Chain A
Amino acid sequence: MRSDLLKISLVLILLFLISLISFLFFKGVNIIIYSLIIFLVLVLAIYLLGYDRRKEKDSKDVILIILIVNLAYYLFTYITGYFSGFYKPIYSHTFSNILKNVIGNLVFILTIEILRKTLVKKIKYIDKNFKFFILIILILSFCEYCLNYSLSSLSDNKRILQSIFNFIPLLSENILLTYVIYRFDITCSLIYRVMMDFTKYIVPIIPNFGDYINTVIAVIYPFILLLIINSNFQSMQRKVNNYRLDVKYNKISKIGTYILFVFLFILVLLVSGVGRYFILSIGSESMTPKINMGDVVLIDKGINKNKIKVGDVIAFKYEGNIIVHRVVSLSMKNNNKIYKTKGDNNKDFDAWVITNDDLVGKAELRFRYIGWPTIVLNQWIIRK
């Protein structure tokens, strides 16, 4: 058992080193060459650890769940996309380009999933060491990350940050894939990947919910699918082994999950600004002490613009920036409502006037300090 763990460690270290070398020294590594190098690691892994041929029961049920949930996902996103809009994928849809895009990725996915299966199944049947599963998830995510990023491509803070945030959806997907291979079979992970990763090469339009919601969906969807699969697996196990449900735990966990999803839903709505309200971090001290730098204000976009009066704190656009200042006078010109504004902490009135077209909304609530992480991140990006 100990020697098996050593062999698994060796394969993981080798994979990590290959990914790291690609990340450090190669800009734009070719997917086929990268897959071939990982294929050599796979050959070594099978030679050292063997290939597990055991058939897991319930795999067919899980494949069905993945198919249904993925189809429901596409149905839901395409219907919602009708309201939010679509974008044209950059990938060309000529037959030769579809083949070129699909084949390169298929080779990579097959190699990486067989390698995942070899490692995961070995650990499952010898030790079930949780730390090794975490290592597999991290290293395989990094391996995939290095296919898309290199050190030279991270030329500024914005790109570094973007690459870090693009790692999170990868991690989320790898947790799901490792889980389905651990519990079930490689077919489950392959079907998931083919359905989710190849759509963009084939379909002419993809729903566009904006950068933020697109990223949130890419993170949250594998988790939801995992929870659905796990819940089905648990109920199947209960039926087979005839053990009683821990009612108290089950109730607490259900309530906890509902609360979590409601919280996340509200957070995503407020950050994306899809609904009537959105939140805005304050990046200056012009409204101190009423609103300090690092505070977050809740902006009501749906307010009746005719009801805004002198003394209200409003958010408006000026030269592409959003500014939160107080209305100090109102007037009418050419049938346009003209707002004169001022920051509470500024000596002078603002040097501009704004109209209803510039108005974003009215500040309704203030939350102290919670905007600081965003301010720090922004300053870090801008300083570069």
Chain B
Amino acid sequence: MKKNERHNNRKFILLLILILLLSIISISIEYVKVSNTLDKNNDYSTIDSKTNSWDIEFTSSSFNCIGQAKVNNLKTSSSQITFNVTLNAPKDTITIYSKIENLGKIDATLDSFIKGTPKFKSTDFSLEQEEKLNNAVSYNVTYADGSKIKLGDILKANESKIIKIVISLKENVSVNSIYIENLNVIMLYKQI
């Protein structure tokens, strides 16, 4: 091996190491958690870091509140919707509409559907009292037309569906307001 070729090889390895260092540092900069902002690493569906041919996600959300109900911190990540709700009086109702879109190139079928359970949590109440408050809340997730979400439902490439989430207070409760945080809906798809 000629001397200049060995020299070139050293330059090549040095260049590689520099690229590697810069790459890992820049990826790390993106992934470092940040205080007081969204916990953006809480994502469920990075399937393959090199390809975008699979891309199903909740792309937009809107909500409608009846009575004194409030919704806040409504977040959509690739495959889940998370939100907090406050219900104050009977018949307070929140309706959330969220669009799930297949932006990739692969037809998909619903593989897993997780509908979180409303859980009122407070250090001021006993477990029995908490359970009673939780039972007073009605929580339903369907498609926008009211049809049931079932495993095996198909979402073809470039198609979308609207998900409807309805949460309401059924009866009078002994507290001024019920605050439920981190309610979520997770929909995981796989190839048909």
Q: Which residues of A contact B (CB under 8 A)?
A: 28, 30, 87-92, 97, 128, 130, 147-149, 153, 161, 163, 165-166, 168-173, 175, 200, 210-212, 214-216, 218-220, 223, 226-227, 230, 234, 237-238, 241, 243, 246, 249, 253, 256-257, 260, 264, 267-268, 271-273, 278-284, 286, 296-297, 315, 317, 319-324, 333-334, 336, 338, 353, 355, 371, 373-375, 377-378, 381-382
Chain A, Cβ-Cβ closest to B106: A90
CA distance A272 to B27 in the complex (A): 11
Contact B38 A320 (CB under 8 A): yes
- Given A268-B28, A320-B182, 4 more A-B residue pairs with CB atoms under 8 Å apart are A212-B41, A219-B24, A271-B32, A286-B36
Q: Report the minimal beta-carbon distance from B189 to chain A, rounded to whole angstroms.
A: 7
Contacts of B52 in A (CB 8 A): 148-149, 153, 163, 166
The verdict on A267 contacting B25 (CB below 8 Å), with A214-B46, A226-B16 known, is yes
Contact B50 A267 (CB under 8 A): no
Quick one: which of B8, B38, B51, B75 contacts A148, CB cutoff 8 A?
Answer: B51
Contact B190 A371 (CB under 8 A): no
Q: Report the minimal beta-carbon distance from A141 to chain B, rounded to whole angstroms.
A: 10
Contact B75 A280 (CB under 8 A): no
Contact A220 B20 (CB under 8 A): yes
CA distance A252 to B52 in the complex (A): 41
A-B contacts, 8 of them at CB < 8 A, read A88-B190, A89-B190, A169-B50, A238-B1, A281-B35, A321-B35, A322-B35, A322-B36
Contacts of B114 in A (CB 8 A): none
Quick one: which of A171, A264, A272, A283 contacts B37, CB cutoff 8 A?
Answer: A283
The verdict on A148 contacting B23 (CB below 8 Å), with A90-B190, A283-B36 known, is no
Contacts of A215 in B (CB 8 A): 27, 31, 49
Type the 1/0 row for B87-118, where 1 means its CB is closer than 8 Å to any CB of A. 00000000000000001111010010000000
Type the 1/0 row for B18-47, where 1 means its CB is closer than 8 Å to any CB of A. 011101111111111111111111110011
Contact A377 B158 (CB under 8 A): no
Tell me if B54 is interfacial: C-beta within 8 Å of chain A.
yes
Tell me if B13 is interfacial: C-beta within 8 Å of chain A.
yes
Quick one: which of A165, A256, A283, A324 contacts B27, CB cutoff 8 A?
Answer: A165
Contacts of B41 in A (CB 8 A): 210-212
Contacts of B64 in A (CB 8 A): none
Contact B1 A267 (CB under 8 A): no
Quick one: which of B8, B27, B182 contacts A212, CB cutoff 8 A?
Answer: B27
Type the 1/0 row for B150-192, where 1 means its CB is closer than 8 Å to any CB of A. 0000000110000000000000000000000110000001111
Contact B191 A378 (CB under 8 A): no
Which of B6, B48, B126, B192 counts the most chain A CB atoms within 10 A? B48
The verdict on A90 contacting B30 (CB below 8 Å), with A264-B24, A321-B36 known, is no
Contact B49 A320 (CB under 8 A): no
Contact B104 A28 (CB under 8 A): yes
Contacts of B182 in A (CB 8 A): 319-320
Contacts of A211 in B (CB 8 A): 31, 41, 43, 46, 49
Contact A216 B123 (CB under 8 A): no
Chain A, Cβ-Cβ closest to B44: A87
Contacts of B48 in A (CB 8 A): 200
Contacts of A382 in B (CB 8 A): 37-38
Q: Report the minimal beta-carbon distance from B153 to chain A, rounded to whole angstroms.
A: 15
Contact A175 B19 (CB under 8 A): yes
Contact A284 B36 (CB under 8 A): yes
CA distance A264 to B28 in the complex (A): 10
The verdict on A237 contacting B46 (CB below 8 Å), with A153-B55, A283-B37, A321-B39 known, is no
